[in-house]
């Protein structure tokens, strides 16, 4: 006897080619265009515990003075620098080494509904990993996300929004990132 009809559903649209490279600036920049994100629809998070899993794999090129960056998940329209006042999930400020060229990164996250409705809340956890070596012989740097105690973020879950992965350059604005693979799964 089943406890309920729960499933994992890989959501469209599916990536059939690499997403174009984006230059990370002083304001959040969407890593995936809204046309390549599943529109969740109003009240998608229709019960407490409903969750989605995101997995992104890409490459990163940093400038001669790489500076620092932060990656975040935003709940909103999917446009650059558009979304909930508080990100659903963010990396710490990351300081990659200078002059990385096409270095791999992997970002995985789970976003789970804690409260439904116009004053709903989402709890997010995950990991962000990247190679931080010019010779690519050093182990990957891995961050648990969030880096301190997880906390639910208030969001209007009655809106027809998307979960948008975005990056922000806190000092250098010439680093580029590109997504090669993106998987979005409904977990129940």
pLDDT of residue 28: 95
Q: What is the pLDDT of residue 7?
A: 66
In this predicted structure, what is the pLDDT of residue 140? 86
pLDDT at 152 over 80: yes
Cα 36 to Cα 10, 76, 104, 113: the distances in Å are 13, 14, 21, 23
**Range from 2-11, 85-94, 165-174 carrying the lowest mean pLDDT:** 2-11
d(Cα 180, Cα 74) in Å, to the nearest integer? 20
pLDDT in the model for residue 6: 66
Sign for the CA dihedral angle at 26, 28, 31, 34 comes to negative
| Average pLDDT of the residues in 44-58 | 95
- Give residues with Cβ within 8 angstroms of 145, minimum separation 6: 89, 90, 91, 109, 124, 125, 126, 127, 128
Which pLDDT band holds residue 1 (cuts at 50, 70, 90)? very low
The per-residue pLDDT of the chain, averaged, comes to: 91
CA 144 to chain CA centroid, Å, is 13
CA max distance for the chain: 60
SS3 163: strand
pLDDT at residue 2 tops 80: no
Q: What is the pLDDT of residue 4?
A: 66
pLDDT digits (tens, 9 = 90+) for 60-109: 999 989 999 999 999 999 999 998 889 999 999 999 989 999 999 999 99
For residue 119, is pLDDT > 50? yes
Domain spans of the chain, in order of start: 9-186
**Is the pTM for the entire model greater than 0.85?**
yes
């Amino acid at each position: 006897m089943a406890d309920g009809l729960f499933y994992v559903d890989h959501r469209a649209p599916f990536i059939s080619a690499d997403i174009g490279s984006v230059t990370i600036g002083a304001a959040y920049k969407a890593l995936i265009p809204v046309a390549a994100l599943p529109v969740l629809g109003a009240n998608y998070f229709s019960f407490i515990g409903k969750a989605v899993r995101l997995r992104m794999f890409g490459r990163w090129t940093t400038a001669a003075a790489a500076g620092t960056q932060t990656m975040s998940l935003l709940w909103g329209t999917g446009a650059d620098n558009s979304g909930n006042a508080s990100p659903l999930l963010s990396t710490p400020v990351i300081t990659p080494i200078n002059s990385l060229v096409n270095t791999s990164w992997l970002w995985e996250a789970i976003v789970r509904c804690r409260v439904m409705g116009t004053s709903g809340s989402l709890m997010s956890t995950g990991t962000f990993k990247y190679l931080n070596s010019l010779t690519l012989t050093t182990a990957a740097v891995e961050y648990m996300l969030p880096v301190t105690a997880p906390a639910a973020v208030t969001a209007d879950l009655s809106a027809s929004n998307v979960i948008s992965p975005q990056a922000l350059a806190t000092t250098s604005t010439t680093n580029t990132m590109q997504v090669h693979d993106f998987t979005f799964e409904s977990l129940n």
